[in-house]
Structures are given as structure tokens and as C-alpha cells.
Amino acid sequence: AEVDILKGMTLQVQRGEIVTLLGPNGCGKSTLLKSIAGFLRPRSGSIVLESKDVSQVPVHQKIQKLGLGFVPQTENVFSSLTIRENMQVGGHFMSDADCKQRMQELCTLYPVLERKFNAPASSMSGGERQILALARALMPRPRLLLLDEPSAGLSPKMLQEVFKAIVQVRDKEGVTILMVEQNAMEALRMSDRAYVLSMGTVALTGAANSLMSDPQVRELYLGGRAA
């Protein structure tokens, strides 16, 4: 028999919020994100986006028609393509004029993209590649952005750069962000709210700053790491 990874989970993300999913490996964080995105279809329950039940809508339709963006943890840029070509892939169903205008907007928001516009993505550092992955997902102007471990494999300095880029897009474009993250304390610093998952259910939820200062949360879920 198949085992349910997620069991009786309820969460909400309000417009313009940054919400983080925390918890140990194997607790269902990425599965939940992939279910919301449409890569996986839930056997029961519903996923509601702006009052519409989108539980059975596949990911490409959510991206093209429902304002959803998704940045996977790995293989999220094409190394052999230039920065410009990577962004064009993100806007492949947009008109040429709109695609060009959107690339300019994102290069203004993230100057590193403009500096390396015609260089292959393989020439970028890990943090720069994450910013490119973010920009590619932002090409069609999504209203909700799902990020799976945006800081994976990054140095502390690069992590700060990527988190700053995430906050920037929320502040400048009003994009709602739901992300899975292992760097719990860093993620909580930039989030409005968080959910702590355990064994496929929500173990704790609350405002990010109150979870950060909760000694039980630090000990159980954040490895006792003090900021």
C-alpha cells in the first residue's frame, strides 16, 4: 500500500507575505511544495489559489494562467545558455515585446543579470545562479512564488545575497512567497510567518519573530542554534 507523506495539513499564505516551511528532512516540506505547484496531485483535500480550487491543475497551466512561479532546488538554470536565454525560457509564452520589457525590469532589480547578460550561466557563482533561477521564474509576473531550498549549497555570504533578492521581489513587486528552507534562523529573520512540519503534519505555526525566540522551537527544530 502507498504511504501518505502528508496527513491532515492546513496552511494559509496571505497576499504579499513571505512564509517559510521548516522541519527535519523527510517531514514532507518539499512534497507539500510540489503538491501546491501541481507536480503531485493530492489524493484528498484541496489546494485553493485566490478562491479557486486548483488541486487537479497541472503545473504548466498554473504557471501560464494562474500566476504561479516555482524554483526547484536543483537544475534550476540551463548552464550552457546565456543569462538572456535562460530568462527567455522563463518567458517563452509571452510576446516578444513583453518578454524584452520584463527582462529589462528584472535586470534593473537584479543588476548582476545585466552585467553578465550574454555570458553563459555556467560562468556565475552559486548565489548568482540562484538569482537567475529566481528571475527566470519571475518572467511571467507570478503572484505566488514557491521556492524549494533557495539557499542549498550556498556560502553564508551568498545566502544573504539570495535572501536579500527574495525580499526585494516581495517589496518591489508584491509577490507572495512560500519557501522550504533548512537555514531556519536566517529564513525566519526574513519571513512574516512560518510553519514547522513534523511527520507530515503542522507541529507549530506562528509569527516568525515569536518562533525565533521560542526556546522549544530552537531546541527541537533549529538544532539549538542561537543567532
CA proximity to 16, closest of 193, 151, 149: 193
Burial of 19 (0-12, 13-18, 19+ CB in 10 A): buried
Residue 179, beta-bridge partner list: 20, 147
Question: CA–CA separation, 48 vs 46, rounded Å?
Answer: 6
Angle 30-13-11 (CA atoms, 0-180°, nearest 5)?
Answer: 60
Give the per-residue pLDDT at 222.
53
Give the per-residue pLDDT at 8.
54
Give the per-residue pLDDT at 101.
97
How confident is the model over 99-122, as pLDDT tens digits?
999 999 999 999 999 999 999 999
Which phi and psi angles does 83 have, rounded to 5°?
-60, -45
Give me the amino acid identity at 15: R
Q: What is the pTM of this model?
A: 0.88
- Band (pLDDT 50/70/90 cuts) for residue 36 is confident
Of the two residues 75 and 89, the one the predictor is more confident about is 89
Residue 148, beta-bridge partner list: 180
Question: Has residue 144 got a pLDDT over 90?
Answer: yes
